[in-house]
Amino acid sequence: MKASLSQYRQSPRKVRLVADMIRGKSAGTALTILTLVPKKAGLPIKKLLQSAISNAKNSGIDVETLTVKEVRVDGGVVMKRQMPRAFGRAYVINKRTSHINLVLEAKQDKSEARNPKSETKTEKIKIVKKVTKTVAKKVTSKKVVK
């Protein structure tokens, strides 16, 4: 499930600090982290995560299996302002905005996930033969020069 926030009025550099904290975590853990984080960006990202969780509920996905797959913070429009300085000069002040995109993913059950141990012995033998052939070719192709 996806949720996005456009034109959030804070620098992307500062928002990324909070976004990095929740990337890869489960949805419940991420909500707890965002509740306790002492950054200004914590509240808007928390609301965005709650919106994505709500979208997942409306789609019929189990909320307990959700993880934060992706949190992307991109730069938005930069508002340019001026500050008067000495000798008639003007200093430019950039008021930056952020676009935040959040993607949640449902974890797969362990039974559904591909198990590498379930390969048959013949498949393993074929893989080992291929590897040994390529290694043997590399070894024989090198010439020893004295």
The full set of domains in the chain, from first to last, is 2-108 (3.90.470.10)
**For residues 19-47, b (16+ Cβ closer than 10 Å) or e, as one string?**
bebbeebbbeebbebbeebeeebbebbbe
pLDDT bucket at 108, cuts 50 / 70 / 90: confident
The pLDDT tens digits for 40-90 are 999 999 999 999 999 999 999 999 999 999 999 999 999 999 999 999 999
Cα gap 88→125, rounded to integer Å: 80
CB-facing half-sphere around the CA of 55: CA atoms within 13 A: 16
Helix axes 27-36, 12-22, angle to 10 degrees: 130
